[in-house]
Chain A
Amino acid sequence: MRTGNPIKRRKQRDIAKDRVLYAFNYLFLLLIFIIVGYPLLIVVSNSLSSPEAVTGGKVWLLPVDFSLEGYQAVFQDKSIVSGFRNSFFYMIVGTAINMVVTTLCAYPLSIKTLPGRRWFMLLFSFTMFFSGGMIPTYLLIYKLGMINTVWSMILPGAISVWNMILMRTYFMNSVPGDIREAAIIDGCSDFRYLVKILIPLSVPIMAVLVLYYAVGHWNSYFNALLYLRDTDLYPLQMVLRNILIMNNASMDMLASDPEAMSLRIKMIDLVKYSVIVVASLPLVILYPFIQKYFVQGIMVGSLKG
C-alpha cells in the first residue's frame, strides 16, 4: 500500500463527500438486512418456541420457552411426510427430464451452420410471449389422459424456453467453436461431443439451470391444484396450502378425542411456523452448493447471443 501510487492513496483517505455517501450506504444496507432478515428470524424463533408462547404472540426476537414440539408434530403428520416424498420425486425426475430436453434443444440451436436455425429459434421463442392459456392446456392434459397422474406434474413444463436460451448463449459464448470442429473432423459424433466435451465444459450454466428447475418443481402448487385430485399424489406445496392457507389441519394433527383436540388446536400456529421451516429447508441446503456457479452462469447466460 505504500507504493506511493496516487490512486491508492486517494482511495485510502476518502474525500469528505464520499464519507457521507459511504455512511448512508451502510445504513441503507443495514436497513435492508434487517427488513429481509427479521421476518426469517421470527419464523425460525417461533418454530422453536412453546405453543403457548406462539399463540400468545410473545416471540419478538429469539425463541421463548424453547421446545421442539412443533417439529415433532410436523414429522408425525402423514400428509406432510407423503407430500415430502412426492415433491422429492417430482423434483428429481422432473429436473432430470428438464435438463435432458433443454440440452437437446440448446445444443443444436447453438450451432451457427444449422439449416433453419433462425426459424427454430422463432418457433421456440414465440412460446415465451404467447400461450394458449390455462383452459386449453387443461383440456389438452385431460385429453392426453394425464389428469391425476404423476406425468401431469413432470411433462407439461419439460422445457423452459427461457432457460434453453440461457444455455444456448452459454454454449455459444463460453465454449470455443473450434473444439467442436476439431472433434467432428476427427470423427466424433455430435452426441459424443455433447456428452464428453460440451457438458463437462459447461458446468456453471448446468448448475444454475438445475437450481432453477429444481426450485420451480419444489415450489409449484398450481399445476397440482389443476391436475391432481388424489391427495396421495399431492406435492408438499398442496399439503402446505391446506395447512397454511385453507386452515385445514389434517386428521392426524387433530386427534379424535376432544381433550387431545383442544391441545392440537393450541398447537396449530406453532405447527405452521415449523412446517414453513421444514418445507423451505431442502432448497436452502441445496443453494450453497450451487452458489459458486451463480454469478458466472447468470452473467454469461444473460449476454445476447
Chain B
Amino acid sequence: MKTAVSPQAISVGNGAKRKLRVRLKLHYQLFIMLLVPLAFILVFAYAPMVGAVIAFKNYNFNLGIWDSEWVGLQNFIRFVRYPRFWNLIQNTLVISVYSLVAGFPMPIILALSLNCVRNRYFKKSVQMLTYLPYFISTVVLCGMLFQFFNPRIGFLGQLISRSRGQLTDIFLNAKSFPHIMVWSGIWQGMGFSSILYISILASVSPELHEAAIIDGASRFQRILHIDFPALLPTATIMLIMSMGGILNTGFEKILLLQNNGNTIYSEVIDTYVYKVGMTATIPDQGYATAIGLFKSVIGFILLLVVNGIAARVSENSLW
C-alpha cells in the first residue's frame, strides 16, 4: 500500500470509485429529498452571507449590491470610531454576561431541587407552572412588564413607589434596565430550560443512590456526588452553545423595552444595526451590515475558542 503506483493501489482506487457510484445510485432518493432543504438553506442562509459583501461597499440602493462602490474597511473603521462604540459593546456584554451568569445555573438548581421532591403531585405542579411562561410571547412579556411596573396600577410599580414615597417609573431609571431584562428572562425561561436537566436526572441509575445510601451518604452528599456530575457533560455543551450567542442579547425584547430615557444602558449592537439600517431617515445598509458582520465574526471566534478550551479541559465539545 505504501508504494504509490502499485497495481493494487490503482485497482483499489477504481474499486472505491465504482463503490462511490454504486453508493450514489443506491441513495439517489435521499439526494432528491435533500434538494428541498438545501435550496432553502442556500437561499435564505447562504445568499445573505454573500450579500454581506456590502459591508465593504458604499451601498447604494439604486446601484444594487454588485455595482456599488468598494470602500474596503471604511465602514468598520467608522463603527470603531463611533463615539458610542464602547458604550454599545459594554451594554451588549453587560446584558449578555449578566444573563448568562445569573440565568445559566437557575435551571440546573431548579432541576436538582425538583429531583429531591418525593411528593409527585407537588413536583408535577411546580413543573407545569414553571414551564408556562415559556409560551408567553416577547411582546406580551414586555406588555406585562409595563403593566406590572406602572406606578399607578401595577403591583410592582405600586410597591416600588410606596417604598420610595413617590411615584416611580422604573423604566425611566436607565440603570435598572439590565436587571429588568435579565430577571424577566430568567422568570420566563428557567422552567423550560430545566426540562432537559430533569430528564437527565431521571435517567440516573437508582443503584448509584442506593449504594450511596448504604454507605451512609446524606441527600446533600448524593446531590453533590451523583446528581450534579450527571448533569455536567450536558451543562458544558449548553454553556458552549450560549457562549456562541453571547453577543446575541435577545434584542427583540430590548427593542420593545427601550425608550429614549434608557438608551444609555439599553442600546446594544443589534438595536443599533436595526436603527442604522432600517429606521434611520437615510438608512445606511452598508454600514449597518458591517456592524452586524463585526458582531457575527467575533461571536463565531468566541464559540471556537470556548469550544476548544472545553474540548481540552473536559472532553465535552460540540464536534
Contact = CB atoms under 8 A, between A and B. Distances in A.
Interface of A: 6-7, 10-11, 14-15, 17-18, 21-22, 25-26, 28-29, 32-33, 35-37, 39-40, 42-43, 46, 54-57, 60, 100-102, 104-105, 107-109, 111, 113-115, 120, 123-125, 127, 129-140, 155-159, 161, 164, 189-191, 194, 215, 218-222, 226, 237, 240-241, 243-245, 269, 272-273, 276, 279-280, 283-284, 287, 294-295, 298-299, 302, 304
B48 A136 contact: yes
B44 A137 contact: yes
Interface in B173-194: 187, 191
Contacts of B277: 134-135, 138
Contact of B293 (A124, A125, A133, A226): A133
B41 A159 contact: yes
Given A140-B47, A190-B33, A222-B252, A40 B117 contact: no
Interface of A is mostly: helix
Given A33-B126, A35-B187, A302 B139 contact: no
A126 B200 CA distance: 27
B23 A269 contact: no
Contacts of A245: 139, 142-143, 146, 256
A158 B278 CA distance: 23
B34 A241 contact: no
Interface stretch (B1-9, B81-89, B97-105, B211-219): B211-219
Given A104-B36, A133-B48, A159-B40, 4 more contacts: A10-B213, A57-B158, A222-B255, A243-B143
Interface in B98-128: 110, 113-114, 116-117, 122, 125-126
A141 to B, nearest CB: 9
A280 B136 contact: yes
Given A219-B137, A221-B139, A241 B256 contact: yes
B218 A15 contact: yes
Contacts, number: 264
Interface in B187-213: 187, 191, 195-196, 198-200, 202-203, 210, 213
Interface in B149-172: 150, 152-155, 158
A133 B213 contact: no
Contacts of B299: 129
B219 A14 contact: yes
Interface of B: 20, 23-24, 26-27, 29-31, 33-34, 36-38, 40-41, 43-52, 54, 65, 110, 113-114, 116-117, 122, 125-126, 129-140, 142-144, 146-148, 150, 152-155, 158, 187, 191, 195-196, 198-200, 202-203, 210, 213-214, 218-220, 234, 237, 244, 252, 255-256, 270, 273-274, 277-278, 285, 288-289, 292-293, 296, 299-300, 303, 319
Contact of A36 (B24, B30, B155, B187): B187
A241 B138 CA distance: 10
A206 B36 CA distance: 19
A164 B40 CA distance: 13
B289 A136 contact: yes
A280 B143 CA distance: 12
Contact of B153 (A22, A56, A101, A131): A56
Contact of B37 (A104, A129, A139, A190): A104
A279 B113 contact: no
A134 B144 CA distance: 27
A299 B289 contact: no
Given A111-B27, A136-B51, A191-B29, A218 B130 contact: no
A85 B96 CA distance: 35
Interface of B is mostly: helix
A129 B148 contact: no
B52 A136 contact: yes
Nearest to B188: A36
Contact of B137 (A37, A140, A280, A294): A280
Contacts of B51: 132, 136-137, 139-140
B189 to A, nearest CB: 11
Most chain B CB within a 10 A radius of its CB, from A54, A134, A159, A189? A134
Contacts of A127: 41, 45-46
8 contacts: A131-B296, A135-B288, A136-B52, A240-B137, A240-B139, A241-B139, A295-B198, A302-B196
A139 B199 contact: no
A40 B293 CA distance: 39
A217 to B, nearest CB: 11
A133 B137 contact: no
A221 B138 CA distance: 8
Contacts of B50: 132
A237 B137 contact: yes
Contacts of A6: 214
Given A26-B117, A29-B122, A240-B139, A17 B110 contact: no
B220 A244 contact: no
A137 B293 CA distance: 12
A111 B30 contact: yes
Contacts of A138: 277-278
B273 A156 contact: no
Contact of B133 (A40, A102, A107): A40
Contact of A164 (B37, B45, B135, B143): B37
Contacts of B65: 139
Given A134-B274, A269-B147, A280-B137, A36 B130 contact: yes
A135 B273 contact: yes
